[in-house]
Amino acid sequence: MRPLIIEFASNALSHQGGEPPAWPRTVEISFAESGPAVLIGEGVGHGVAGGRFTPEEALLRRSALLEARGEWLIPYLERMARGETVTQDELVERFEQQHGRRPRFH
């Protein structure tokens, strides 16, 4: 079974109407048996660019995390990078506390 990909940060998440961000940025995490993968993306349509990173590699892209409003993820990524267990349920619960809704799963 393919692991779920969950969107935990996006500069469009807090958008309250009017025009959405001109250049959307997202941070998603996939929890697989082989370990978590952090997906960092930016752009729209054919202009989308991004990559799949380990937690350690994602931390080296701190500006991308901040631009996607994913600063709250940094302590969790640091824990993952140290080899500590961070569960999907733990991050979903934290997201729900912060945003008042469940994150987008795909």
- Contact between residue 96 and residue 1 where contact means Cβ atoms under 8 Å apart: no
* Digitized pLDDT (tens) for each residue of the chain, 106 residues in all: 566 899 999 988 655 566 666 688 999 999 988 889 999 999 877 767 899 999 999 999 999 999 999 999 999 999 999 999 999 999 999 999 999 999 999 8
Q: pTM for the full model?
A: 0.87
Contact between 105 and 5 under an 8 Å Cβ cutoff? The reply is yes
Any idea how long the chain is? Answer: 106
Q: How far apart are CA 59 and CA 88, in angstroms?
A: 18
